Structure 1
Amino acid sequence: MRSVLVAALVVRMTAAGGAGAGVEVKGERAPAGESWEDVRKHFSALRNELSTLENEFRDAREKHRIEAERKQQESERERRGQP
C-alpha cells in the first residue's frame, strides 16, 4: 500500500513540477530546494499529500467493505427466498 501511495505522490509532484524541477537563476538552472526553507516547504507539502492519499485510500477501502457486506447480505436473503 505504501509503495502505491509513494508512486502516486511522485506522479503528482512531477506533474506539478515539484520533483526534480530546477529554478532559473540568471539563465542557469539551479537545483530545486535552493534553501533549507524550500526543502522544508517541499517536505511539508509531501506530508500533506501523503496524508490526503492515505485518507482517500482508507475511505475507498471502507466503502468497498460496506458494499461487499451489503452484497453478502443480499445474497443470503436471496438464498433463503426472502425478497
Structure 2
Amino acid sequence: MTDVPGYLAAHIQERLAAVAHELGIRVDVHGDVVYLRGEVVTEERRRAVEDAARGAAEGHRIRNEVSVVSAREPEGEETLS
C-alpha cells in the first residue's frame, strides 16, 4: 500500500464499507494521522468503524471524530393531509 494520502483514505473507506458496513464516514489523512468523521446510530457502530479503519491504516494513528446520533422512532402517529 502506498503512503499517498488519497490512496490510503480510499483504501480505508473501502474497508469501512466491506467490514463495518458504513458508507457515510469521511476519511482524511494528514501526515501519520487518519481522521474519521461522520455519524452513526450507536457507540458499537462507532467502535466498529474505528476497528475497521485500524485494520487498513497500516501503522497510522486513528482520530475517531465520528458522532453517535439518536435514531428514535417518532412519537405518535403522523397525520397526512
Q: TM-score, length-normalised on structure 2?
A: 0.27
Structure with greater strand share of residues: 2
Q: Higher relative contact order by CA 8 Å / sep ≥ 6: 1 or 2?
A: 2
Structure with greater helix share of residues: 1
Rg larger for:
1
